[in-house]
Chain A
Amino acid sequence: MRVVFKTSYDSDIDLHEHGADRLRTALLLGLMAILPFLVGDYYLAEATNTLIWALAGMGLMIAVGHTGQVSLGHAAFLAIGAYTDAALMNAGLPFYLALPAAGLAAGLFGALIAIPAVRMSGIYLAIATLAVFVIVEELVIMLEPITGGVGGIMAPSITLFGVSFDRYAALTNFYWLVLGIVALVTWGYANLMRSPTGRSFLAVRDSEVSARALGINVTRTRALAFGLSSGVTGLAGALMGHFIGFFNYELFSVIISINLLLVVTIGGLGSIQGAFLGAILITGMPQLIAILRDGVNANFGIDLGGIPGLDTMVFSMILIGFIIFEPAGLYGRWRKIRVWLETFPLARRDMFRRHKTYLKTERMK
């Protein structure tokens, strides 16, 4: 077990606990940067998709994982980001202006909804976001001149300073662009979580009453968190639009909202790493299922491809399994394994015992 010797109070909130930690992050980043030279185009596209999902997952993580606000409508913010970006670029704006504008639009819209919505307690917010999602979906169809309505809209290819970042013609460049954006957002997110603002998010999540007693403006904190969350999701939406190329409102279905929720829950609520682990799972799983299905078909002659909805079913079962057996998600499981390894043979079963809360209602009738 490593003993970290701290020489200042400040080192308590260091981004990396110790040198080896920093080295690991650098190695990971380096590996991700040289990925285009290691794998083919197909897997590179998959990796890009995973990164975009991780970005969206980080967006939702701010709300669900770190502020305790469940949103069932985050696909709406993906849609707002994607449409804003595509519409602005079609109007002739360069990508480096359209992308921040997309994030800003989604963020402002999120904050706008959040201001009335955050006064509601947990479950009501979840419902309100679901309603907002349906309304945004219909609005997209109604605003045909901007969004292309049912027909859809084309996200133009990206050119920055004369270099092409087209998703098909220059996939490697596009990958690096996405990687850069994701890395920047991750860095910002990690720093946010050690700032007073980020700490107040956690305080609001863990106990609203105590947070208020400590002088935190709960409503403002929640609205800020929700705005940030939808802003980051909007960025992901813009990138997703470019990745897909041509899309209409069906790309952002309620299933996407649920999948996003899956990303953060299975990944591990309350950890940035969780968003990445969840994204890897959600983008990798359909491939894995396809491979397994072909294997079953080849070896046993059972054609599972004929059963519609099997993928969703498998996802649902995984989700149910995680909720019941490992609510802390993949990252939580990894932490337990790590502690077990580090303290071997001293680990004890009750080290991670879940603390139970008993329900009390605010209803008095």
Chain B
Amino acid sequence: MTELLQLVIGGLANGCIYGLVALGFVLIYKASEGVNFAQGDMMMLGAFIALGLGNSEQLGMPFAIAVPLAVVIMFGVGWGVERVIVRQLFGQPQFALVILTIALGFVFRFVAGSIWGYTPLVLETPFAGMNMRAGGIVISVADLIAIGVTLVLTVALWAFFAFTRIGLAAQAASQNQMAAYIVGVPVMRVNSLIWGLSGAVATVGGVLYATRGAIDPNIGLLGIKAFAAAVIGGLGSLPGALLGGLIIGIIEPVAGRYAPGEFAKMSPYIIMLLVLVTRPGGLFSQIQMKKV
């Protein structure tokens, strides 16, 4: 029982990171109905920028400065990517963005690989190796922080879309671009902002990931799993993304413990396919049948 609990808590923290990357997907999907397949690589890049700023053998800034600075830089990267590249696709079919972002992911991976190399690196944190004990369970501080930060961010983003003017404008821009233009929503600017935001969220996810283990340029592939999380929750729903992330995060280690190894790797995708078949819109479905 303690073993299971231990697995679940580790899974929760992992799931929060999946959830954060999934939030990035959802942000962009909510605002522009596009899917950013480079989200995982943005997470990776964010983590590496934080590492490059913070680690003592690199720039050596204090952790509390390096991380916010990395978030700001990645906000700029996200903004810039939208402004310079993605905007060119305005008015093209959806899948053009899919292919473009896959290619962008490779570019990010190449950039990170040529700056920081392909050997795994560890991010230095003030709370590395700190643990708490409750009963027979060991909880690392990094896990607790991951869970806490994720909850706060999800609520904040949800509030942003539900209550602020810009959040509402972003939703309007995705529901009907033309109509949003007509009523005066600056669709392009809103898109840039959302891409910046998703870059920032990805960085937070990346830093949290890096606090729990070593990173290398290929951790961006985690994006595929986070993607499954976003789909399970229903692309377009922020709480759904978090829930999807948690489901995957918990199922994975549990399946790894009690089922053959390959099954654990397949489990996120099997769950995703099951959800897609039974509820094509995800758990928090937002799709309605198109009527003519």
Using CB atoms and an 8 Å cutoff, list the residues of chain A in contact with chain B.
64, 70, 72, 116-117, 119-124, 126-128, 130-132, 134-135, 138-139, 141-142, 209, 213, 258, 261, 265, 307-310, 312-313, 315-317, 319-320, 323-324, 327, 354, 356-365
Contact = CB atoms under 8 A, between A and B. Distances in A.
A323 B224 CA distance: 22
Interface string B220-257: 00001001100100011100000000000000000000
Given A316-B106, A365-B286, A131 B95 contact: no
B262 A138 contact: yes
A320 B113 CA distance: 20
B155 interface: no
Contacts of B270: 131, 135
Interface string B271-292: 0110011001000001110101
Contact of A116 (B33, B92, B276, B287): B276
A131 B99 contact: no
30 contacts: A122-B95, A123-B35, A124-B231, A126-B95, A126-B98, A127-B228, A131-B228, A134-B266, A138-B266, A139-B262, A261-B99, A308-B113, A308-B118, A310-B110, A313-B107, A316-B103, A319-B100, A320-B85, A320-B100, A320-B104, A320-B107, A323-B103, A324-B89, A354-B91, A359-B177, A360-B176, A362-B290, A363-B174, A363-B236, A365-B286
B93 interface: yes
B280 A119 contact: yes
B6 interface: no
A120 B280 contact: yes
A135 B91 contact: no
Interface residues of B, number: 55
B102 interface: yes
Interface of B: 32-33, 35, 85, 88-96, 98-100, 102-104, 106-107, 109-110, 113-114, 118, 174-178, 224, 227-228, 231, 235-237, 260, 262-263, 265-266, 269-270, 272-273, 276-277, 280, 286-288, 290, 292
A119 B280 CA distance: 8
A49 to B, nearest CB: 22
Nearest to B95: A70
A209 B290 CA distance: 9
Contacts of B103: 315-317, 319-320, 323
B276 A128 contact: yes
Given A123-B95, A357-B91, 4 more contacts: A138-B263, A320-B107, A324-B100, A365-B237
Contacts of A209: 290, 292
Given A135-B266, A324-B88, A361-B174, A116 B94 contact: no
A207 to B, nearest CB: 10
B177 A363 contact: no
A312 B114 CA distance: 13
B262 A309 contact: no
Q: Which 7 A-B pairs have the closest CB atoms?
A: A356-B91, A131-B269, A316-B103, A316-B106, A363-B286, A313-B110, A319-B103
Contacts of A363: 174-175, 236, 286-288
Contacts of B178: 358, 360
Contacts of B227: 127, 130
A358 B91 contact: yes
A265 B110 contact: no
Nearest to B84: A324
Contacts of A356: 90-92
Given A307-B114, A363-B175, A323 B286 contact: no
A134 B106 contact: no
A22 to B, nearest CB: 33
Contact of A312 (B85, B94, B110, B236): B110
A237 B160 CA distance: 48
A323 B96 contact: yes
Given A127-B227, A313-B106, A320-B104, A132 B92 contact: no
B130 to A, nearest CB: 35
Contacts of A358: 91, 176-178
B93 A357 contact: yes
Nearest to A113: B273
B77 to A, nearest CB: 16
Contacts of A127: 227-228, 231, 272, 276
Contacts of A265: 99
A359 B235 CA distance: 16
B284 to A, nearest CB: 9
